[in-house]
Amino acid sequence: MKDTNAIVLSNVRIANDVYKMELRTDIAKEAKPGQFVQITVPGFYLRRPISVSWTQDDVLTLVFKIMGEGTAVLSKLQPGAETSVLGPLGQGFPVTAEKEVVLMGGGVGTPPMLKTAKAYLDAGAKVDVVLGFNTAGDVFYVDEFEQLGITPVVCTMDGSAGVKGTVLDGVKSAGITADYVLACGPLPMLRAISSTYTKGYVSLESRMACGFGVCNGCVMTDKNGMAVRVCKNGPVFPIGKVVL
């Protein structure tokens, strides 16, 4: 973990309220799939946790949705702006030798799945990707997955794009049979996945202050009643480990 000065290289809107930001920072070279960074937002005391979506040499790509005041300010940062980024943080998705895996991203849970998909492809797995959004205007990252040679199954709750329904509906309609899942998204989605699959990993979200394990702000409880820190022991946990 280190604290680096990061320079915004680009920051563009890619869907409703969703921005893709490229930053120049050394952290890019160390970041593993599923890890996250804490980015300083000018004018705010706490940093904001955002997943590592992609890295290329010393360029780190983050994708975030405007959810409140901090992310609204982040969306307005112009190329050339400087900020500071702490990371890489947390335990990412382990990359194990699997024959086939299915990756699922829900909304702004999608970004970390891009680098994860690349890692599993590189490890020789057959990778299926299912992405869930509310509506067509929310959809992003289809091209990015296609550049990896994966055609993602897109699902929308209102049916305005792709399969109508949840990511699990998408899995069914595409006939994906992999039993090993890697997922990031809203809690209801992760709960549904956890009651359907037994193998794989899910990435959790929790409000946090430090992001490196010292404040106990983001603590959840595992199946044995033990406290786990989402920022330090996670955000990625084996399916079924944490009480959702």
Partner 1 sequence: MDLSVQLPGLNLKNPIIPASGTFQFGREFAMLYDLSVLGGCCVKSITLEERLGNPLPRIAEAPGGMINAIGLQNRGVDFVREKELPFLESYDTEVIANIAGASIEEYAEVIRRLNGVDVIKAFELNISCPNVSAGGMGLGTNPETAAEVTRVAKAAADKPVYVKLTPNVTDITAIARAVEAAGADGIVVINTVPAMRIDLRTAKPVLGNVTGGMSGPAIKPIAIRAVYQCAQAVNIPIIGCGGITCAEDVLEFLYAGASAVEIGSENLVDPWACPRIIEELPAVLEKYRLGSVKEATGKALPKAQ
Ligand X SMILES: Cc1cc2nc3c(=O)[nH]c(=O)nc-3n(C[C@H](O)[C@H](O)[C@H](O)COP(=O)(O)OP(=O)(O)OC[C@H]3O[C@@H](n4cnc5c(N)ncnc54)[C@H](O)[C@@H]3O)c2cc1C
Ligand Y SMILES: Cc1cc2nc3c(=O)[nH]c(=O)nc-3n(C[C@H](O)[C@H](O)[C@H](O)COP(=O)(O)O)c2cc1C
Under the binding rule (CB under 6 A), the answer on residue 174 touching ligand X is no
**Contact mark string toward ligand X, 15..54, x via CB under 6 A:** ---------------------x---------x-xxxx---
Give which of 152, 102, 119, 148 is closest to 52, Cα–Cα. Answer: 119
- Closer to ligand X at the Cβ: 32 or 48? 48
- Closer to partner 1 at the Cβ: 12 or 226? 226
Hey, which residues between 91 and 110 contact ligand X (CB under 6 A)? 108
**Contact mark string toward partner 1, 179..218, x via CB under 8 A:** ---------------------------xxxxx-xxxxxxx
Tell me which stretch binds ligand Y (CB under 6 A): 34-42, 54-62, 100-108, 209-217: 209-217
Q: What is the three-class DSSP state of 1?
A: coil
Under the binding rule (CB under 6 A), the answer on residue 65 touching ligand X is yes
Alpha-carbon gap, residue 158 to 161, rounded angstroms: 8
> What contacts 5, CB < 8 A, 6 or more positions away?
25, 82, 83, 84
Alpha-carbon gap, residue 134 to 206, rounded angstroms: 21
Hey, which residues between 101 and 160 contact ligand X (CB under 6 A)? 108, 111
- CB of 123 within 8 A of CB of 95? yes
In terms of Cβ atoms closer than 10 Å to its own Cβ (0-12, 13-18, 19+), residue 115 is buried
136's tokens: 């067509």
Tell me which stretch binds ligand X (CB under 6 A): 7-15, 23-31, 170-178, 200-208: 200-208
Candidate list 12, 187, 215, 227; residue touching ligand Y; CB under 6 A: 215
> What contacts 79, CB < 8 A, 6 or more positions away?
8, 9, 10, 11
Under the binding rule (CB under 8 A), the answer on residue 66 touching partner 1 is no
Residues at the interface with ligand Y (CB under 6 A): 209, 215, 217
Residues at the interface with partner 1 (CB under 8 A): 1, 3, 40, 44-47, 70, 86, 206-210, 212-221, 225, 227, 232
